[in-house]
Amino acid sequence: MEASSQETGNEPLLVVNDLKKYYPVNGGWFKPPSELKALDGISFTLERGETLGLVGESGCGKTTLGRCILRAIEPSGGKIEFLNGRTYMDILKLDTKSLRDLRAQMQMVFQDPYGSLDPRMTVFDIIAEPLTTKSRISGKKLTERVAELMEMVGLEVKFLNRYPHAFSGGQRQRIGIARALATNPELVVCDEAVSALDVSVQAQILNLLKDLQQELGITYLFISHNLSVVRHISDRIAVMYLGRLVELAESDQMFEKPMHPYTEMLLSAIPSPDPDVKRQAAVDGEVPNPANVPPGCAFCDRCKYAIPKCRTERPELRALQNNHLAACHRAEELSLVGAV
């Protein structure tokens, strides 16, 4: 609780420090067991009311990070401090009961609008469930609150007693959002919340998420593999590669002037819907096996700027100009190409 002594007006909502999640990998007969480092020392802060986008290729640990913050997956080490009222609480030290109480403040929206809703519950039951377990309201008040939530996410209240199968993908995602907002959370983790939707519906949901943030002052951790979507919704963006953050910056800044070669590669790979934009895709190699990460910089085998130092010494995430963080030995000397 030492952080609570900072009595400034805008303390961060969430402070993640050196978060780790290791999975044991069984060895063979002649192979010793080892560890797969899904998260390897992640540190960042989330300001109240902002959206932090989290991008990376599949297998880089984005989802693990999102779930560790809610302690849906038990992290192996580190510290996650959440501002609850006026005091910071270390989520990892909470017992089951206080964790359950705190979870009303932290909710999640999932990728799959089909798998994340119970097909045997009506919309009312789905949205009311967090209210009855966490806020313990019932009767007329409960019905009113559910109706209010449905209106908030753009669903017609008359659909209250229908089952999820009667809704389209976009509408189901709205139900998922209403459920997440039911307890008035401070933090909503959106794990690929729009990836399964068609573009026209995706735009509706993105606009809805933005509107809700303005209205309710929610903080989002927005996890996605789609960089254009992340840029659209985020104030700041964090790029992950093999369990580590490699770059963190304001979103316009990162797109205009990336400081890590991996970000440059990701940006170069996005096809533009404008046929006049000719991009120079410079993508090389594939993500190495996370159970066998090379020493030094994990990206060095795919990096065209690598120097011998990169193969031996692991670069730490460090601050460069204007709150721009990057984990690259050569961040200052390289001038990398952005997307605009």
- Residue ranges binding another protein (CB under 8 A): 57-58, 168-171, 198-204, 206-207, 210, 225-229, 231-235, 251-252, 255, 265-277, 281, 283, 286-287, 339-340
Cβ contact 204:194 at 8 Å = no
Strand order in the sheet with 318-319: 106-109, 187-191, 219-223, 51-55, 236-241, 244-250, 325-326, 318-319
Nearest approach, Cβ of residue 220 and another protein (Å) = 13
Choice between 130 and 170, CB closer to another protein? 170
In the complex, least distance from residue 171 CB atom to another protein, rounded to whole angstroms: 7
Give min distance, CB of 38 to another protein, in A. 17
Q: In the complex with another protein, which residue's Cβ is closer, 140 or 278?
A: 278
Q: Return the HEC string of 243-307.
A: CEEEEEEEHHHHHHCCCCHHHHHHHHHCCCCCCCCCCCCCCCCCCCCHHHCCCCCCCHHHCCCCC
CA atoms 159, 161, 163, 166: torsion sign: negative
Phi, psi dihedrals of residue 319, rounded to the nearest 5°: -80, 130
With H, G, I as helix, E, B as strand and everything else as coil, classify residue 89.
Answer: strand
Beta carbons of 309 and 78 less than 8 angstroms apart = no
- Least Å distance, CB 283 to another protein, is 5
- Given the structure tokens 């205009």, which residue do they identify? 256
- Using the minimum distance from each CB to another protein, give the nearer residue, 199 or 291: 199
Nearest CB to another protein, comparing residues 81 and 247: 247
Where residue 154 falls (left for φ over 0; alpha for ψ -120 to 50; beta otherwise) is left
Work out the widest C-alpha separation in the chain, in whole angstroms.
Answer: 68
Of 103 and 231, CB closest to another protein: 231
Please answer whether residues 161 and 150 qualify as being in contact, where contact means their C-beta atoms are separated by less than 8 angstroms: no
Q: Where are the beta strands (DSSP E) in 47-133?
A: 51-55, 77-84, 87-90, 106-109
Find the shortest distance in angstroms from Cβ 186 to another protein. 22
Short-list 129, 81, 122, CA closest to 104: 129
Q: Which is nearer to another protein, 152 or 203 (CB)?
A: 203
Nearer to another protein, 89 or 109 (CB): 109
Nearer to another protein, 78 or 170 (CB): 170
Which residue, 74 or 286, has its beta carbon nearer to another protein? 286
Q: How far is the CB of 292 from another protein (least distance, A)?
A: 14
**Tokens at residue 248, please?**
């963190």
Q: Which two tokens stand for residue 40?
A: 């390897």
Amino acid identity, position 318:
R
